[in-house]
A and B are shown apart, each in its own frame.
Chain A
Amino acid sequence: MHAPAQVKEADSPAVRLSQVAITFALKGGGTYQAVRDIDLTVGASEFVAIVGPTGCGKSTLLNAAAGLLKPSAGGADIFGERLSGLNARAGYLFQQDALMPWKTAIDNVAVALEPKGVPRAEALARGREWLGRVGLAAFADRYPHMLSGGQRKRVALAQMLIRNPQILLMDEPFGPLDAQTRQIMGNLLLDLWAQDRKAVMFVTHDLEEAIALADRVVVMSAGPAARIVGDYPVSLPRPRDIAEIRLDPAFHAIHKAIWATLRVEVQKAYAQGEGANA
């Protein structure tokens, strides 16, 4: 367990990306610049959603904050400290299934405490508690393939949160789920988040989801060399219900404003043929 954020840290944002550029070497020579000139700050208890057209490098940005990718220029500061290697203070929720398929739900959650040196019996007890919080107490002994897509996401959520990370990085986590399950998962996420308000970077291509969840929506341009082209505060009251907030007139006003920016980029991406591949 990390010690509570100290006073000095409280002044520093959870994540600060400064002048980040990320370039990939392509097979057969040449390079591809995914993102450039990225300046992005996420406060210690701020929920930031990042939207943009398909293939604009949203996930790349998340990987830079996670330490899974090293920026080719600029850098990431985590609570004021320059990140080198993996970001030990962050939890990551992947779009794809990332659970260990050979472990049951409870083992998948409990194993997340092993790197912290928590004894197995205690880890299992806390794992059961977390499975309960995500509504899967009765499914502890199921293997991932015996769970539905939504249930697997719940396990992954519990696996991430049990470590009590101060930063949550989420890469279109509810993307593969059906519409109703997405809403349920969105509300579950907001409930859990409201309890201790971690810093969140939430990548999605669904603008409505972004507005419903976040305090701020950041819009990225079409790739390659995507930049941030918009940064909108979402001043909707909390607690929110994902399904109901969409009917709020204020929601529509925000949606309209952001969509004006996003639409241009989506069209650009589509014209480049990026719209065809996910």
Chain B
Amino acid sequence: MRRTTLLAMQVGVGLAFLLVWHLLTAVPVSGGKPLFDPFFFSTPLDVLARTWKDLVSGELWYHLGITLTETVLAFTFGAIGGIAFGFLFARREILASVFDPYIKAANALPRVVLAPIFALWFGLGIWSKVALGFTLVFFIVFFNVYQGVREVSPVVLANARMLGMNERQLLRHVYWPAALTWMFSSLHTSVGFALVGAVVGEYLGSSAGLGYKIHEAESVFDVTGVFSGMLVLAVFVIVIDTFVTAIEKRLTVWQPGTGAATAQG
């Protein structure tokens, strides 16, 4: 399918959804009332108008900035921690064996229950949200890097050893790139989780950020405000994801299937 056709169809689905929503909530049927009560469902035009108002007033940018900061910090610390421990555990089998049950237990724990604890420890500012995002990102990156280092092709490894590489050179030329590959393959997921950590944290207790804005609107039954927050969140996620895709394309240029030419013969 051509790119433009695809894009047109994608936009079409969005418009169709908005149209149905509009018809159900804003067009009066018998009795002078729409089929769905706008108090519960708002209307697309109200949501857009509210979002526009917040954008123009600058209030939204402040909250977006807070959420973005938390997301970036959570991702950075989570990725650094995950890479470091993933490497360590993959190269020191004994550590992996000893800590295995604890890591599984920690990863299985629903992070939401940690949010109040983090709020207690780190306060209601950004750091409790960063901590929540960290616990999500860390495990994704950790497991991927661990896997990546352990599953380095034995042939590539044997070849590198036959080339005379010592442990440090193996680390640099073989293990490290292999681990990064796996980390990048989970980049979308981990960035997404960093954002989830930030928003959920804000939602549960804060005074700024997108999650806070949504929570604030919910507490006064302002459905338009809630949907406006969700809309902004959705656009925000798509922008971040596009950014991540661009980074990924640059960093995984050596991998097959990234659109690069393949020679024949």
Contact = CB atoms under 8 A, between A and B. Distances in A.
A102 B155 contact: no
B155 A100 contact: no
Interface string B146-159: 00000001011011
Contacts of B156: 97-101
Interface in B212-264: 253-256, 260-264
B158 A68 contact: yes
A143 B254 contact: yes
Contact of A111 (B158, B173, B178, B263): B173
Contacts of A143: 253-254, 260
B253 A90 contact: no
Contacts of A68: 158, 161-162
A40 B125 CA distance: 73
B162 A91 contact: yes
Given A102-B254, A103-B254, A111 B163 contact: yes
A206 B164 CA distance: 30
A99 B173 CA distance: 11
Nearest to B176: A102
Contacts of B155: 94, 96-98
Contacts of B158: 68, 92, 94, 98
Interface stretch (A45-53, A112-120, A186-194): A112-120
B163 A145 contact: no
Interface in B164-183: 164-166, 169, 173-174, 177-178, 181
A147 interface: yes
B254 A114 contact: no
B162 A66 contact: yes
Which of B162, B173, B177, B261 gathers the greatest number of chain A CB atoms within 10 Å? B162
Nearest to A86: B161
B265 interface: yes
B114 interface: no
A99 B159 CA distance: 8
B119 to A, nearest CB: 42
B24 interface: no
A66 B153 CA distance: 18
B247 to A, nearest CB: 16
Interface in A79-95: 86-88, 90-92, 94
Contacts of B161: 68, 86
B160 interface: yes
A142 B263 contact: yes
Nearest to A68: B158
B254 A101 contact: yes
B163 A163 contact: yes
A97 B159 CA distance: 10
Contacts of B260: 143, 145-146
A111 B172 CA distance: 11
A97 B155 CA distance: 7
A97 B260 CA distance: 19
A116 B164 contact: yes
A195 interface: no
A201 to B, nearest CB: 13
Contacts of A100: 156, 160, 173-174, 177
Interface string A3-46: 00000000000000000000000000000000000000000000
A111 B254 CA distance: 17
A92 B254 contact: no
B166 A115 contact: yes
Which of B155, B164, B264 gathers the greatest number of chain A CB atoms within 10 Å? B164
A100 B155 CA distance: 10
B184 to A, nearest CB: 11
Contacts of A114: 165, 169, 173
Nearest to A88: B164
A148 B264 contact: yes
A101 B261 CA distance: 15
A144 B153 CA distance: 15
A66 B174 CA distance: 20
17 contacts: A68-B158, A68-B162, A86-B164, A91-B162, A98-B153, A98-B158, A100-B156, A100-B177, A102-B254, A103-B254, A114-B169, A139-B263, A144-B254, A145-B254, A146-B261, A146-B262, A159-B163
Interface of A: 66, 68, 86-88, 90-92, 94, 96-104, 111-112, 114-116, 139, 142-148, 150-151, 156, 159, 163
Q: Which 8 A-B pairs have the closest CB atoms?
A: A98-B159, A115-B164, A145-B256, A143-B254, A102-B177, A92-B162, A96-B155, A98-B155
Given A97-B156, A145-B256, 20 more contacts: A66-B162, A86-B161, A86-B162, A91-B162, A92-B159, A96-B155, A98-B155, A100-B156, A100-B160, A100-B177, A102-B178, A103-B254, A115-B163, A115-B169, A144-B254, A145-B262, A147-B263, A148-B265, A150-B265, A163-B163
